[in-house]
Homo-oligomer: A and B are copies of this chain.
């Protein structure tokens, strides 16, 4: 009995020591970032001096070159590029435009969806049919749809507390709407922008054609203009409203590009990896500040923080700037392929691609309820004082997703910032550096560094 008690005390004591040491390290990580952080100035450069960086563009290459140099300047053990071929879609040189043709002509704001085909050279004019779901295509049938422009106008459901869920619930209109409408004979598709905000920005984003569907031109329309169009379609005095739009986008041959990888070598297990990353590419209309400048810069900052604090990781830690998340995920696929090819062991991968807002926590993909419970018990109290204690089941992200199928035992983790403002700016020209808060970005970087530290010290199983 006495021995047992002593053992128990020793265990508690050791546990207490570990917790205190972890707590101290995390406090130091935050202090370092909040006082000496480089993330905000790095993000400024990426957004303001490079700017938009769609896969295959000259700017994407500039971003790759700059990122590599930046990582090298931090003295990481290894900095290198992972070549991958990426789709090369361009919006085209000429201006896009759209007009509602009712009793008068009303110009509206559109932007071609990423990967869409162009309209005919002089634009496309057709009657419009407003739908709120893909299912309605089948309900209405080919006779109702044929020769028309399908206008998908289901708004964000504002009742979701996390906006990502509203995005998910409305997203099929953009991802799959054009291909589905084509099957019913539609000649074009206009999609209400995927945002809850009422404004004049069209929100672009990728759409997916299917092999067996016609490729019809598809564009996003701003929410304000979607409301206008919908109102006009409901006016009995205007039975013949037509819609005109013109876009010049095209697919060029696949182009060479790269993931950028910076690595701290593990002192105990150099072939075991903890990855943290975001995607370096952005849509062509935006600076890609929140999507996903904050993700790459925050990820890099997390690794830089550990390095600059003199931390010697047990396992190798990698900051990865993935290429081509927006319209192909080729970088993510390549990273996973190489990991498998090189027989790397991956402990965990963290992805930051939900904006650079105040951190709330992390989502863990496919972990058992008991492991999630353990993570919460052990790490929740360490992260909660910094607002990052929400440790929940959920997705990892598009870039790290392919690892799951190709590398055994990796835990995929999504960084969860506050979600309220993300879809205000997502995929629009308003996604600019000025809309990022320095402190929110820094807190995010520090929260990721803290989680990497905990995983490196204690594993995750």
Contacts and interface: CB of A to CB of B under 8 A. Distances in A.
Interface of A: 30-31, 34-35, 158-159, 161, 163, 196-197, 358, 360, 385-387, 418, 420-421, 424, 437-440, 443
B159 A35 contact: yes
A13 B439 CA distance: 46
Contacts of A387: 161, 360
Nearest to A36: B158
B158 A34 contact: yes
A444 B126 CA distance: 44
A380 to B, nearest CB: 13
A159 B358 contact: no
Contacts of A424: 437
A438 B358 contact: no
A31 B437 contact: no
Contact of A438 (B31, B159, B197, B438): B197
Which of A196, A197, A386, A438 has the most C-beta atoms of chain B within 10 angstroms of its own C-beta? A438
A385 B437 contact: no
A161 B30 contact: yes
B418 A159 contact: no
Contacts of A159: 30-31, 34-35
A196 B161 contact: no
A425 B131 CA distance: 42
A383 to B, nearest CB: 11
B443 A35 contact: no
B34 A420 contact: no
Given A358-B418, A420-B437, 13 more contacts: A30-B161, A34-B159, A35-B158, A158-B439, A161-B385, A161-B387, A163-B439, A196-B438, A418-B418, A420-B439, A420-B440, A421-B437, A421-B440
Contacts of A31: 159
Contacts of A420: 358, 437, 439-440, 443
A440 to B, nearest CB: 5
Contact of A358 (B158, B196, B197, B358): B358
A303 to B, nearest CB: 21
Smallest CB-CB A-B distances: 8 pairs: A34-B158, A420-B439, A31-B159, A420-B440, A358-B418, A421-B437, A358-B420, A34-B159
A8 to B, nearest CB: 27
A326 to B, nearest CB: 24
A386 B160 CA distance: 10
Contact of A161 (B161, B438, B443): B443
